[in-house]
Structure 1
């Protein structure tokens, strides 16, 4: 049984000259023939929003013309951009400059109460080999759980924090695999308690909200928490629930941050890998019982506003169910 809003009866038409093709059964589609920028018309923007809701990840090819400024202008058509990061200011204010790869499965910035709804990543400098990114569909992972595990997940809460995964050695001079300084990353400690299953604010789908910023599950012993996190993460990361993209010059990736986890594969040695990311403001996650996420520590109001969800036009359900 899936948990989606009643689907619309028709899809929006694909813009003239644009093609879209699936990259896997569960997640991802490739879009060609669509130059991104701040001048897209309303129908094209709504088509992109709907396709993103269906496929969770869109790889838009041929975007060599984009700059930081035009990437940001495009992002504003889809929502309100956040600051580049809640704590990291040395890597840009609007576009977060990521050197290397975040080689841990995660949902972007899940340690704040207002989790970003969309991430837009532009390949700026690519290594000669390696450096792919993988994504997993957390909606499909939830829908494929056996009913007893769905019932359990619906009742669980998890504490997410920025002072847990990214530099376990606690070395203030250390950097993670994306080139982010541990000391800067954790200069303000954020902790937020999120439902393990949240209801997507625009599609109504239930999605697992976990990943490497989770320190523990609430109200459970440490061993119980660890075992359950591993169990649910294993379901999310089943190979048939994921896809891997090998970047090429001009590629831009958009993903629904509320319905996915992703992983930057650090298999390119000492070669340079540079990406610029813009994130869009999200709303506070809500569990299946209607309870909202709770702040334990840290104020994210300067980082991001709280988004007001916009209804989708022509949405027909998650790609994994079609």
Structure 2
């Protein structure tokens, strides 16, 4: 690190500081700054379009050299991990329950080829509130015409399908909405969301990631489990403490600054295997958890 305090907010002086620290593209940044100012104030512009393009090219090439000069440069907000998601909504009237199945699917898919991201079960009394929050997500559209054949296929598989919707979101965002409504009712073994080990790992990972992002510490497995139960995790599986330990070990392999910025996402088997070949920062393939070089904690889905 340079040790420079970077307290001056004027681009001219910041560029001068970079030049003093030896950043080679400082003259190019000055050229662009001066050209912009000349144009803004009606002063004749001497730089040509070629000059500007060449300057931008040199700045781009020199950008990686800024990191050791400017502390915290890489701590900016991470790009959102947006994905197109299909939400299949099932009305289990007899049980007083609405099921929201989050799917990866193209219009040409069928119920046999679509890949499940996650599933949440909500009391029918909370259905309207949950849907109101979902409907605020980007591009939420009920029954899109392009997915009509897919919806028919889903209904052939389960006639309790009410309707489908498509939308764009981060997994973390839709998880935050639906997990807050997930019920704790005693269903038959294997039917509750939290009977699935991969869903449990997703919840545990989300709780630990949020804790670190908010300034907390890496928790022990018992504390992580307690915090997750407090957020609604159902405790029917006998191996919950072991699953919590998987998450703790995974976060424990990360540098502190990486752990504090972890994002949680789901990955189907193909994507997970591809990420395994990219030198993950931490990985536990047996349990389906890894952290990509970009700091994304992937929990494998069941397909």
Which TM bucket (shorter chain)?
Answer: under 0.3
| Structure with the larger RCO, 1 or 2 (CA within 8 Å, 6+ apart) | 1
Larger Rg: 2
- What is the TM-score with the length of structure 1 in the denominator? 0.22
- What is the TM-score with the length of structure 2 in the denominator? 0.23
